[in-house]
Structure 1
Amino acid sequence: MKAAIIGGGVIGGGWAARFLLNGWDVAVFDPDPEAERKISEVLMNARRALPGLYDTALPPEGRLTYHSDLAQSVAGADWVQESVPERLELKHKVLADLMQYAPDEAIIGSSTSGFKPSELNEKGARAIVAHPFNPVYLLPLIELVGDADTCARAADILSGIGMFPLKVRKEIDAHIADRFLEAVWREALWLVKDGIANTEEIDEAIRMGFGLRWAQMGLFETYRVAGGEAGMKHFMAQFGPCLSWPWTKLMDVPEFTDELVDLIADQSDAQSGHMSIRELERLRDDNLVSILRALKARGPGSGAGRVVRDHEADLWHAMTDTTPLRTVARDVPIDWTDYNGHMNEGRYGQVFSDAADRVMAHVGADADYIGSGLSFFTAETNIKYLDECHAGEAVYVDSTVTLGEGKKLRLWHEMRRKADDSLLATCDQFLLHVDLTTRKSCPPRADVEARVETLATLHARGTT
């Protein structure tokens, strides 16, 4: 699969990273002589952050190319994403060229945050709005507006690269999310202009309070909870009248004078000027990975964590009977490191536990088996730590069944660094089969026992 990215700014670079790290070939067209450098910096952050969302490896990266010829960049493309500046006349020109050169079956998406499809296509183009959020390689939301059949095709593709397609029912200026953000932004400008709060205090109000709720529940579900046992109806009855009170100035916009711009810029410099943009991006990415992983870990996944969990399910590689079994392939996430700057020893135990879970699923002791009341419990582990492992490093685990008879299962795991195959840690793990009702050991189901014995025999021979 091939994606062509037209415009290599912040959003275009994020699109390139999202597609590339999910195994697509990516062709970038941007006349800016600095485009390759800028996208390389975005990719550096994306390679550091995105794999940390998942507990298995992303697909092998696609091939990245840069082009000075538009026709060459879109040749053979399955997806073409226009991310040029928000000037309608410029978008019309680019889309007209894309109509000439892009394959007829290719989806043409526009990253526009405000223009409607009817405006984009008023000169004969066939683009849909595919509006992402920065950083595109981490945030799953993508607003789709336009032809229903094209949007349906687009949604399938975007879901396959770990995004959450939100189909907007009717076209409207600025779609859904940016209209909402615009309302908050207008009120924030008034609060600064009127001296009620500075930029840092407004940001603290968001990130220390309702921003944490919104990350998992959004607006209406948050208010439903606020209504207590009586739910949303009670909340609306209690707080609805305040909508007529003069709390906000949402219908007015403060005049963008030089004084207001300087006031906000100076406050922002005082707030964050001690960090470079790249440092702020890395801090943002680290926090987003930790939040998304936390949301992913809750049951079937909460909020955006559900999108990561669903995408991860498609990333796990299929296992066959080999010697040894490749049970884990992943990147070390940012939040697995300790104060010494390397992977915490407890996380080695998690990696080897994940490896054992993969062996269990492979022999038939999967989630349904556990649901039936049977499982394997770890009785003993012996882990040896042989080398340091750091955030962002790709690692893998090879597992061997060294004992498989009756209710006994013994596994030997070797964790290695993908870059040089160096051995990082080993684990000798002994498990017993257990009845989850009595919590006592018992023989496995016959088919599971047979699969374990087959693997043990295969691994004893040391051949695939």
Structure 2
Amino acid sequence: MKIAAIGGGVIGGGWIARFILNGHDVQVFDPHPEAARIVGEVLANAGRAYEALFQAPLPRPGRLVWAGSIAEAVRGAEHIQESVPERLELKHRIIAEIEAAAPADAIIGSSTSGFKPSELRQGAVHPDRILVVHPFNPVYLLPVIEVVGGGAAARRACDFLTAIGMKPVTIAREIDAHIGDRLLEAVWREALWLVRDGIATTQEIDDIIRFGFGLRWAQMGLFETYRIAGGEAGMRHFLSQFGPALKWPWTKLMDVPDLDEALIDTIAAQSDAQSGAHTIRELERIRDDNLIGILHALKANDWGAGRTLRAAENRLYARRIEPAPGYPLRLHRARVGGSWLDYNGHMTEFRYLQVFGDATDAFLIHAGLDEAHRATGFSAYTVETHIRHLAEIGAGEDLLVETRLLGHDAKRIRLHHAILRKDGSPAATAEHMLLHVSTDQGRAAPMPDALLQALDRIAAQDDAPHPDHAGGGIRVLRPREAVT
């Protein structure tokens, strides 16, 4: 899909990173003189985060193309994401420029935090395709997205957002600030009073959130958390027990402190003392690492945002990759990230197995043992593996895997992989024996004719002898002579 991004700040840069890392080309317009640097730094952090986040092989990143005007950026685009500052007159002007040059059926999504679709659509030529598509920072990691505007355009936008690993939440009725920011503002107002009245510092408030209810909210939200607080009697008991407290004068939600210079100075000084030891990019990487850990834990339990991550990863695994011309097959590439290294600074052992496993998955999908085949109750399980380590692999290296089908019968597949470095030299080889199984019955099962015929066609391409090491194991060592 061809995508345009208008605005490359904190939110716009996050959108650009998510689009590109999911394999889409993005044409960007932002007149800020530092836009290229800012977007480049965000994209670098996002790429680092994706290497740690996904176990499935990632698609080849899309291209970042800088446009000289809005018209140039949106020409031919199917999805246009506007992320300019929160001034309605500015958004009206930008949307008018977008509409003048964009295809009539292009979706125009605004990242606005507060404006309603009816406000954005004032004076529009094709108002129904203008939507609120409001993300949360960092856009490339947090999956939830508020979609406001309804209709066919919203359905199309949700399909696209789901395909790039997001969790769209459609809001049926428009309201100022949508849902997320209204909740956040309630907490923000109260936090300002706590600082203003000298009750707590910025760090103390943040600590109560991040060491307390923030951890609960990260995986259960508000209502499910309070349901548990009601004990075995559930939500009804919680409401009857704690509902009267809503009438107590605990909060000042409708009374906002003046953000005068004194309060601004206090908050800024406390924030500097709390976080000033780190640069913004360092804080972003710390944040990303923490979010990745939480997301991985949630994925392991198939829960909340982890379920969205699992679905996105399954789509990555399910990609059918066209092989490079010729044989052996070249179906998988990988880049060695910093987290792949051991204490010697070389690619650690389990990452070799991951690369070979991903290459096996790519081969099986290429042959037809894909998600549709697995949905019928059959799959292929690896029952034996032999890996040879031939060379050291360092950080940042680009790896290519060559795959050969050494043999197959009705139930078994024998594969050989070679990891090649950029100069074509082999860094490692692996041999795998896979067994076709019925996942329902938990035992070996014959492959269907279509899969066997696909394997026959692949095998027919191989007229070279098997590698000398194929079928071998670890050499038996003679026992040391007893020391007398």
- TM range, normalised to the smaller chain? 0.7 to 0.9
Q: 1:99 to 1:263 in 2, by over 3 A?
A: same
Provide the rounded CA distance (Å) in 2 between the counterparts of 1:243 and 1:414.
65
**Contact kept in structure 1, 2:435 and 2:444, CA below 8 Å:** no
**Contact kept in structure 1, 2:436 and 2:446, CA below 8 Å:** no
Partner of 2:351: 347
Partner of 2:313: 312
Partner of 2:13: 13
Calculate the TM-score normalised by the size of structure 1.
0.85
Which structure has more RCO (C-alpha within 8 Å, separation ≥ 6)? 1
Provide the rounded CA distance (Å) in 2 between the counterparts of 1:154 and 1:445.
42
Provide the rounded CA distance (Å) in 2 between the counterparts of 1:6 and 1:364.
40
Greater Cα shift, 446-455 or 94-103 = 446-455
Q: 1:359 to 1:122 in 2, by over 3 A?
A: closer
Partner of 2:147: 144
**Contact kept in structure 1, 2:368 and 2:454, CA below 8 Å:** no
Provide the rounded CA distance (Å) in 1 between the counterparts of 2:261 and 2:205.
21
Q: 1:337 to 1:261 in 2, by over 3 A?
A: farther
Superposition deviation, residue 186 in structure 1: 1.5
Provide the rounded CA distance (Å) in 2 between the counterparts of 1:157 and 1:434.
34
Partner of 1:445: 446
Greater Cα shift, 320-329 or 20-29 = 320-329
Greater Cα shift, 143-152 or 260-269 = 143-152
Is it true that 1:95 corresponds to 2:90 in the alignment?
no
Provide the rounded CA distance (Å) in 2 between the counterparts of 1:291 and 1:163.
16
Q: 1:236 to 1:77 in 2, by over 3 A?
A: same
Partner of 2:419: 415
Superposition deviation, residue 249 in structure 1: 2.2
Provide the rounded CA distance (Å) in 1 between the counterparts of 2:178 and 2:146.
8
Partner of 1:66: 66
Greater Cα shift, 346-355 or 120-129 = 346-355
Q: 1:146 to 1:431 in 2, by over 3 A?
A: closer
**Contact kept in structure 1, 2:300 and 2:306, CA below 8 Å:** yes
**Which residue identity is paired with 1:77?**
A
Partner of 1:381: 386
**Contact kept in structure 1, 2:436 and 2:447, CA below 8 Å:** no
Superposed, 1:241-280 pairs within 5 Å as 241-280=244-283
Q: 1:107 to 1:445 in 2, by over 3 A?
A: same
RMSD value, Cα? 3.5
* SS of corresponding position for 2:5: strand
Q: 1:257 to 1:121 in 2, by over 3 A?
A: same
* SS of corresponding position for 2:115: coil
Superposed, 1:152-301 pairs within 5 Å as 152-298=155-301, 301=302
Q: What is the aligned length? A: 457
Superposed, 1:24-63 pairs within 5 Å as 24-63=24-63
Gaps of 5+ in 1: none
Superposition deviation, residue 432 in structure 1: 6.7
**Contact kept in structure 2, 1:375 and 1:436, CA below 8 Å:** no
Q: 1:97 to 1:21 in 2, by over 3 A?
A: same
Greater Cα shift, 31-40 or 372-381 = 372-381
Provide the rounded CA distance (Å) in 2 between the counterparts of 1:307 and 1:458.
40
Superposition deviation, residue 244 in structure 1: 2.3
Superposition deviation, residue 151 in structure 1: 1.1
Superposition deviation, residue 323 in structure 1: 4.6
Q: 1:342 to 1:196 in 2, by over 3 A?
A: farther
Superposition deviation, residue 302 in structure 1: 2.0
The superposition leaves residues 240-276 of structure 1 with CA deviations (integer Å, 9 ceiling, x where unpaired) of: 2322233322222222121111111111111111111
Provide the rounded CA distance (Å) in 2 between the counterparts of 1:23 and 1:306.
21
Provide the rounded CA distance (Å) in 2 between the counterparts of 1:85 and 1:68.
19
Provide the rounded CA distance (Å) in 2 between the counterparts of 1:190 and 1:353.
54
State, as a whole percentage, how many aligned pairs show the same letter.
53
